[in-house]
Amino acid sequence: MFIGRSFEIKHLEEAYKAPNSRLVAIYGRRRIGKSSLVARFAEKKKHFYSFEAIEHQNTTGQIAHLTEILKRQINDPLLESMRFKNWQQVFIYLTDRIVKTNHSSQKTILFFDEIQWMAAGQKKLISIIKYFWDNEWKKHNVMLILCGSIASFMVRNVISSEALYGRINDEILLRGLLPNEISAFFGQGKSKEEILRYMLVFGGVPKYYEEIDNTKSFAQNINLLCFRKNAVMIREMERVFYSQFREAQIYKKIVSLLRNGIFTFQEIGQRLHIPSGGGLKLYCDNLENAEIINSYVPFDKKPTSKFRKYTMSDEYIAFHFRYVEPNAKVIQGSSLPKLFERITSDSLEVFFGLAFERFCLKHALYLATVMGFGDAVLYAAPYFERADRGFQIDLLYTRSDKTITICEVKHRNRKIGTEVIPEMERKCSLLNIPRGYSLDRALISLYGPDPSLKKSQYFNHYVTLDDLFCVEI
Q: Looking at residue 471, what is its pLDDT?
A: 61
| Whether the predicted pLDDT of 122 surpasses 80 | no
Cβ-count burial 385-415 (b if 16+ within 10 Å, e if not): beeeeeeebbbbbbbeeebbbbbbbbbeeeb
- Alpha carbon distance 315, 344 (integer Å): 16
Cα-based torsion angle of the residue sequence 276, 27, 397, 451 in order, rounded to the nearest 10 degrees: -120
268 and 310 Cβ atoms separated by less than 8 Å: yes
**H or E element that contains 352:** helix 348-362
Q: Looking at residue 19, what is its pLDDT?
A: 95
CATH class of the domain whose range is 365-473: alpha beta
Q: pLDDT (tens digit, 9 = 90+) per residue, 308-338?
A: 899 999 999 999 999 999 999 999 988 888 9
- Alpha carbon distance 51, 115 (integer Å): 9
- Alpha carbon distance 91, 112 (integer Å): 12
**Intrachain domains 6-173 and 179-362 with the same fold:** no
Region of poorest pLDDT, from 76-80, 85-89, 183-187: 183-187
Average pLDDT over residues 171-197: 90
| Whether the predicted pLDDT of 206 surpasses 80 | yes
Q: Looking at residue 242, what is its pLDDT?
A: 84
Amino acid in position 468: L
Q: Looking at residue 244, what is its pLDDT?
A: 79
Average pLDDT over residues 114-137: 93
Q: pLDDT (tens digit, 9 = 90+) per residue, 42-79?
A: 999 999 999 999 988 999 999 999 999 999 999 899 89
Q: Looking at residue 305, what is its pLDDT?
A: 81
Which pTM value belongs to this model? 0.90
User: What DSSP designation does 78 have?
Assistant: G
Q: Looking at residue 51, what is its pLDDT?
A: 96
CATH class of the domain whose range is 6-173: alpha beta
| Whether the predicted pLDDT of 202 surpasses 70 | yes
- In the chain, pLDDT over 70 holds for what percent of residues? 98
137 and 95 Cβ atoms separated by less than 8 Å: yes
Q: Looking at residue 198, what is its pLDDT?
A: 97
Tell me what percent of the chain is helix, strand and coil, each rounded to the nearest 5: 50, 15, 35
Average pLDDT over residues 289-308: 85
| Whether the predicted pLDDT of 388 surpasses 60 | no
- Residue count (the chain): 473
Neighbours of 348 (CB within 10 A): 17
Average pLDDT of the chain, as a whole number: 92
Q: Looking at residue 387, what is its pLDDT?
A: 55
CATH of domain 179-362: 1.10.10.10
Q: Where are the domains of the chain?
A: 6-173, 179-362, 365-473
Amino acid in position 99: V
**Confidence at 340, pLDDT banded by 50, 70, 90:** very high
Q: pLDDT (tens digit, 9 = 90+) per residue, 144-181?
A: 999 999 888 898 899 999 999 999 999 999 999 999 89
262 and 318 Cβ atoms separated by less than 8 Å: no
Q: pLDDT (tens digit, 9 = 90+) per residue, 251-272?
A: 999 999 998 788 988 999 999 9
Region of poorest pLDDT, from 127-136, 250-259, 451-460: 250-259
Q: Which one is predicted more confidently, 472 or 99? A: 99
**Confidence at 461, pLDDT banded by 50, 70, 90:** very high
**Confidence at 472, pLDDT banded by 50, 70, 90:** low
